[in-house]
Amino acid sequence: MTRVLVMIPSGEVYGHDNVRWYEHHDVQRYIDSYHNIGDAFVFDSSLKLLSYDKLAVLDISTFRPDVIDRLRGEYDFVFLRGSNYIHASMNWEQAIPILKRLGLPVIGFGIGAQAPVNGKIQLSDETRTLLHLIADSAVSVGMRGAYSAQVLWDLGIRNVRIVGCPTAFRRNDPELRVKLPPLESVRKVGVTIRREVSPDYARDIERYLTFQRDLAKSMAERFDTVLMAQGEVEEKKLVLGTEAQRADAMAALRSNGWAASWYLDDTMERLYRERLFYSDVVADYEALVRSQDLVLGYRLHGNLMALANGTPSIYFTYDSRTVEFAETFQIPSFDLFGRDAFRLEDYWDQSLFDRYNRAWYQTYGEMHRLLTENGVAHKLIDTTKPLPSPAR
């Protein structure tokens, strides 16, 4: 019997290993708050890789010795849901005293570091201590990519594995390959959008939003296109809100300085009204990407969900996270702040996706090794057999 504690979950679990946002049937409860449903993708995908009989949340907000002592006897290990935790402003609440008293192995499950736009990453003493605590508790720590692994290496933490993200492997099919159909057969295209972004992530907001707008419009001119949002309040209201909330959301977008100036022209407003998708249920996104011929755009996990289901995807990189994902998995990507113009035809090349297929396969093996060497029961298949031939 395997018993698992999850640290920093993102959503409620139903049907053993499926995730949706908390109390998702009560749409009005969270409609005025931002939450990134992409975090729920990672939580959902992590559960789908693990074999467990019992699951509970490790609350790190309050240090309660009696609760911690009870959990120590009832659970086998803690997994830290993969996310962008390693940055200057991360607040770990009471995680350090809780984990010290708990004394269970903590499995880092694809955690990542966020590089600042300018200068070197700065970490608090709290984050440094927490990372050493995690590394000392386990055989190895699963990191998102080479940059994140280097951050730990620079802290003197050597027992790291680069495993990407659990979302990539959620189908648990080591034979999964992305194969491009003829471009002329492509009909349905999903564009993953992220309207709200900090200058700490994207160094040129005007360029970022203008390019996103132009990408959405150009795809809509050629294909049956859906815009895939992942949690901004106005987008949620436009999809799930009442008539009054939808009107308020559009008014808020029009009055937003960045969005109104560089983003929300007449065509984008029409696309927002007619072609916008959002859901609080991870399974809804998976069903959507399976129905598309192509998914491309700005959302790190929205794009990865497509690739995890064999749907071609192209990343538009604008910060260290998106670059690191593209590098780890060799995903075809376009540098948003580069000098080149984007042409879809330049990326419609099976050899580019064969690089992804190979890197995905190798990283799948690293995820298998991470979980196995840490004694974690899982569903991944051993890939020590020879690599398969490239897709034809």
Q: pLDDT by residue (tens digit) across 167-190? A: 999 999 999 999 999 999 999 999
| Distance separating alpha carbons of residues 353 and 347, to the nearest angstrom | 9
**Distance (Å, rounded) from C-alpha 223 to C-alpha 202?**
28
- Same domain flag for 81 and 218: no
Q: Are 339 and 365 contained in the same domain?
A: no
Q: How many CA atoms lie within 13 A of 44 on its CB side?
A: 27
Whether residue 209 is found in the same domain as residue 92: no
The range of the structural domain enclosing residue 73 comes to 3-173+360-373
Mean pLDDT along residues 214-243: 97
pLDDT at 383: 85
Shared domain for 200 and 318, answered yes or no, is: yes
- The DSSP bridge pattern shows strands 141-143 and 160-162 to be parallel
Q: Is the pLDDT of residue 146 over 80?
A: yes
Q: Is residue 379 part of a domain?
A: no
Residue 43, both tokens: 């939580």
Identify the weakest region by mean pLDDT among 70-84, 129-143, 197-211.
197-211
In the predicted structure, residue 27 carries a pLDDT above the cut 90: yes
Which pLDDT value is given to residue 106? 98
Task: State the CB neighbour count (10 A cutoff) for residue 258.
Answer: 15
State the residue for tokens 């499950």.
109
Residues 152 and 202 in one domain: no
Q: Are residues 142 and 233 in the same domain?
A: no
State how far the Cα of 154 lies from the Cα of 123, in Å rounded to an integer: 12
For 202, the 3-state DSSP assignment is coil
Residue owning tokens 């080149």: 340
Q: In 3D, which of 231, 179, 193, 300 has the Cα closest to residue 24?
A: 231
Judged against a pLDDT cut of 70, whether residue 55 lies above it is answered with yes
Which residue matches tokens 């467990």?
A: 52
Both tokens of 47, joined, read 């559960």
Strand, coil or helix: 227: strand
Q: Number of folded domains in the chain?
A: 2
Q: How far is CA 12 from CA 40, 85, 105, 308, in A?
A: 9, 21, 23, 22
- Between 258 and 307, residue with greater pLDDT: 307
Rounded to 10°, the helix 300-308/282-290 angle is: 60
pLDDT band for 118, please (50, 70, 90 cuts): confident
Mean pLDDT is lowest, of 173-177, 194-198, 330-334, 349-353, for: 194-198
Contact indicator for 265, 245 with CB cutoff of 8 Å:
no
Please report, rounded to a whole number, the percentage of residues in the chain having pLDDT higher than 70: 98
Between CA 365 and CA 383 the distance in angstroms is 6
Q: Residue 257 above 60 pLDDT?
A: yes
pLDDT surpasses 60 at 204: yes
Question: How many CB atoms sit inside 10 A of residue 32's CB?
Answer: 11
Q: Kindly indicate the confidence band of residue 200, based on its pLDDT and cuts at 50, 70 and 90.
A: confident
Note whether 250 and 329 are same-domain residues.
yes
Confidence class for position 220, pLDDT limits 50, 70, 90? very high
Residue 12 included in any domain: yes
Question: Helices marked H in 223-296 — which ranges?
Answer: 233-240, 243-255, 257-262, 266-274, 282-290
Pick from 114, 171, 118: nearest CA to 144: 114
Sheet containing 313-317: order of strands: 276-277, 224-228, 188-192, 294-297, 313-317, 333-335
Q: Are residues 168 and 220 in the same domain?
A: no
Enumerate residues 6+ apart whose C-beta is below 8 A from 362: none
Q: Provide the pLDDT for residue 391.
A: 52
Instruction: For residue range 336-389, list pLDDT tens digits in order.
Output: 999 899 999 999 999 999 999 999 999 999 999 999 999 999 999 998 766 555
Stronger pLDDT, 256 or 185, i.e. the higher one: 185
Q: Quick one: pLDDT at residue 261? A: 85
Distance separating alpha carbons of residues 113 and 383, to the nearest angstrom: 28
Locate all alpha helices (DSSP H) within 115-242, ordered by sequence.
125-137, 146-154, 205-222, 233-240
In terms of domains, do 217 and 138 share one? no
Residues 112 and 205 in one domain: no
State the pTM of this model.
0.95
